[in-house]
A and B are shown apart, each in its own frame.
Chain A
């Protein structure tokens, strides 16, 4: 693994189904993020994690949950998918801390369609 990976690449899902998007990084970054990207709305933060064992809510957390059991993995779960969750989802990671330099490294994205 080099950098940050996401799975699946794309998925078509029936409304009401449960879905987990996977994200793994090998850079030993403490902080990880989940975004959704929609046409005309840009990138919006869903959830984040400053370090393993902690999570926080972003701008649009409703309908999503995350967990951070270890440093490398940060899965995003849709408990009961709805069509409005159709989007491209990006996972990112960065060094944490209060320093000024916190470049985020992004995964390739997961294209999710909820029918």
Chain B
């Protein structure tokens, strides 16, 4: 299963677009990429999931190139409330076996 690697921290300002990239060089055919957001003293919360190309929802976009060795979470026009830790997750369901490999998280600080 793919090992996921992401930057430890990032800084941004309100209103800017933030892109967080996750590297997963050994990604396999059955692996999906999911991103979660976590605030202090809370459990992670699902943001977006994709397999390839681009996925967009009401809060974020996820870009996965054709080789699928990386993925980029894009947060448009961040606000102070987007200050959180963002996790990249490679997951695989293979029959009854589940493999879930989480990145170590990217701590995003949004400044006024």
Is B a genuine binding partner of A?
A: yes
Give A contacts to B, CB under 8 Å: 31, 33, 40-45, 48, 50, 54, 56, 58-59, 90, 92, 97-98, 100-109
Most buried by A among B46, B91, B98, B103: B98
Known: A102-B91, A106-B44. A43 touches B102 (CB 8 A): yes
Residues of B55-112 contacting chain A, CB below 8 A = 87, 91, 93, 95-98, 100-105
- Tell me whether B41 is interfacial, beta carbon within 8 Å: yes
Instruction: Beyond A33-B100, A90-B44, A100-B51, list 12 extra A-B contacts (CB 8 Å).
Output: A43-B44, A43-B102, A45-B98, A45-B100, A54-B96, A58-B100, A97-B93, A101-B49, A102-B91, A104-B36, A104-B46, A106-B44
Q: Chain B interface mostly helix, strand, loop or mixed?
A: strand
Residue of A nearest to B44 (CB): A106
Whether B104 and A41, one on each chain, are in contact in the complex, defined by CB atoms closer than 8 angstroms, is: yes
Chain A residues with CB under 8 Å of B42's CB are 106, 108-109
Of all chain A residues, the one with the shortest Cβ separation from B8 is: A40
Q: Is the CB of B43 within 8 A of A90?
A: yes
Provided the pairs A100-B32, A101-B49 are in contact, do residues A44 and B102 lie with their beta carbons within 8 angstroms?
yes
Q: Decide: A92 and B104 in contact? CB cutoff 8 A.
A: no
In the assembled complex, the Cα of A105 lies from the Cα of B42 at a distance in Å of: 11
